[in-house]
């Protein structure tokens, strides 16, 4: 159902929106790594919306979307028990 609204958008605008969503996802991951977990629901919804955008772009035959490197956050160190 939500994919229908993305099908009405032309490819360059959809690519721009997908890139913006990827940047926002990066910021959310960074914030969650710092311990702020308020935006978890928004993060999940944004992730799904970006996947829908990429699906519609694939249907339109657009393959020029620049790959965005995945940045992994360092794992938290556990404190040793005495």
Give per-residue pLDDT as tens, 1-49: 588 888 888 888 889 999 999 999 988 888 887 777 677 888 899 999 9
Quick check: is 80 in a domain?
Answer: no
Quick check: is 73 in a domain?
Answer: no
Quick check: is 35 in a domain?
Answer: yes
Quick check: is 53 in a domain?
Answer: yes
DSSP state letter for 19: H
Determine the structural domain holding residue 20 and report its residue range.
Answer: 3-60
Query: Is 18 in contact with 54 (CB distance < 8 Å)?
Result: yes
Kindly state the helix (H) or strand (E) to which residue 69 belongs, with its residue range: none
pTM: 0.66
Give per-residue pLDDT as tens, 43-57: 899 999 999 998 888
Quick check: is 74 in a domain?
Answer: no
CA 28 centroid distance within chain: 9
Distances in Å between the alpha carbon of 34 and those of 30, 69, 79? Answer: 6, 20, 17
Q: What pLDDT is recorded for position 5?
A: 87
Quick check: is 42 in a domain?
Answer: yes
Q: In this structure, what CATH number is given to the domain that contains residue 53?
A: 1.10.287
Indicate the burial class of 57 (C-beta count within 10 angstroms; 0-12, 13-18, 19 or more). buried
């Amino acid at each position: 159902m939500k994919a229908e609204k993305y099908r009405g958008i032309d490819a360059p605008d959809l690519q721009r929106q997908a890139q913006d969503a990827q940047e926002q996802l990066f910021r959310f991951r960074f914030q969650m790594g710092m311990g702020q977990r308020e935006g978890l629901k928004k993060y999940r919804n944004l992730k799904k919306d970006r996947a829908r955008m990429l699906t519609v772009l694939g249907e339109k035959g657009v393959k020029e979307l620049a790959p965005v490197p995945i940045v992994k956050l360092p794992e938290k160190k556990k404190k040793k028990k005495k």
